[in-house]
């Protein structure tokens, strides 16, 4: 069975979607790692019988030491893919290089638009007609890296950031497990050198769902 590790810092609703689709898509979450001891995602993992571990960045002297501790904890489970799901620490090349081509992130915008935080409010401010979520391979550039797939939602004139966030999350919950399924099935793979920020033509969610079904 294809083994994945999921990294979280908070509520873990994407983690829940990944948990719920393990059997359907033929992968197994070997471990959930959080840098926050009381992240609700840890409860979700425990309820599903998945191993958890906490590596708190505050316990380490600097990012490198923190990342080395995470690598040690994760590699004990030999993950074939590392999945960032609301993991709220910036990663350095120490960690990124170790999992080059084997690490995914989900970002709540149609990348390369709206990198960074507060994407839903910014989509409304910018009067975007369309918004959504993207899954990409992780490179050293924040919210950069080859974009694999995207899910889109329309932005209504009277939308609030909260309403839009909820709607985008429903898309994320379909998108992330489907991308993992595409990797498990060998339909999606990292470009030979993921440090080069060559954008793959992102697959739209409806087509991706068809392909992995
Ligand atoms: C999601 O919006 C994801 O796109 C972003 O962080 C949020 C995590 O939410 N990277 P959850 O913890 O999965 O509910």
Q: Is the CB of 42 under 6 A from ligand 1?
A: no
Report which protein residue has its CA nearest ligand 1's atom 10: 86
The pLDDT of residue 196 is 35
Q: State the closest ligand 1 atom to the C-alpha of 8, by its place in the atom list counted from 1.
A: 12
Q: Residue 147's closest CA among 107, 116, 177?
A: 107
CB 115: neighbour CB atoms within 10 A? 13
Q: For the segment 20-79, what is each residue's pLDDT rounded down to a tens digit?
A: 999 999 999 999 999 999 999 999 999 999 999 999 999 999 999 999 999 999 999 999
Q: Where are the domains of the chain?
A: 2-212
DSSP 168-187: HHHHHHHHHHHHHHHHHTTS
Question: Which atom in ligand 1 lies closest to the alpha carbon of residue 133?
Answer: 4
* Binding site membership of 11 for ligand 1 (Cβ less than 6 Å): yes
User: What does the alpha-carbon distance between residue 116 and residue 109 come to, in Å, rounded to a whole number?
Assistant: 9
Runs of H (alpha helix) within the chain: 13-20, 22-25, 40-47, 63-75, 93-98, 119-125, 161-184, 205-212
Q: What is the pLDDT of residue 128?
A: 97
213 residues of the chain, pLDDT tens digit each: 999 999 999 999 999 999 999 999 999 999 999 999 999 999 999 999 999 999 999 999 999 999 999 999 999 999 999 999 999 999 999 999 999 989 999 999 999 999 999 999 999 999 999 999 999 999 988 898 889 999 999 999 899 999 999 999 999 999 999 999 999 988 888 765 544 344 467 899 999 999 999
Domain 2-212 homologous superfamily, CATH: Formyl transferase, N-terminal domain (3.40.50.170)
Nearest-CA residue for atom 12 of ligand 1: 12
Mention every residue, 6+ apart, whose C-beta is less than 8 A from residue 23: none
* DSSP labels, 110-136: STTSS-SS-HHHHHHHTT-SEEEEEEE
Q: Please tell me the distance from the alpha carbon of residue 211 to that of residue 213, in angstroms, as a whole number.
A: 6
Give the closest residue (by CA) to ligand 1 atom 5: 86
What is the 12 CA–ligand 1 centroid distance (Å)? Answer: 7
Backbone angles phi, psi at 49, to 5 degrees: 75, 25
Annotated catalytic sites, by residue? 107
């Amino acid at each position: 069975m294809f083994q994945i590790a999921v990294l979280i810092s908070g509520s873990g609703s994407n983690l829940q979607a990944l948990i719920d689709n393990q059997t359907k898509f033929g992968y197994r979450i070997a471990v959930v790692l959080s840098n926050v001891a009381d992240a609700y995602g840890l409860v979700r993992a425990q309820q599903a019988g998945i191993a958890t571990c906490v590596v708190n960045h505050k316990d380490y002297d600097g990012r490198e030491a923190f990342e080395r501790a995470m690598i040690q904890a994760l590699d004990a489970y030999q993950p074939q893919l590392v999945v960032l799901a609301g993991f709220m620490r910036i990663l350095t090349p120490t960690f990124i290089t170790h999992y080059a081509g084997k690490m995914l992130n989900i970002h709540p915008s149609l990348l390369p638009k709206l990198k960074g935080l507060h994407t839903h409010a910014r989509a409304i401010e910018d009067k975007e007609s369309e918004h959504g979520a993207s899954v990409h391979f992780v490179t050293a550039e924040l919210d950069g890296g080859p974009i694999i797939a995207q899910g889109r939602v329309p932005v209504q004139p009277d939308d609030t950031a909260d309403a839009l966030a909820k709607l985008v999350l429903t898309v994320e919950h379909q998108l992330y497990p489907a991308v993992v399924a595409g990797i498990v099935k060998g339909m999606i793979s990292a470009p030979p050198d993921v440090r080069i920020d060559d954008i793959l033509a992102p697959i739209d969610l409806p087509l991706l769902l068809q392909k992995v079904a």
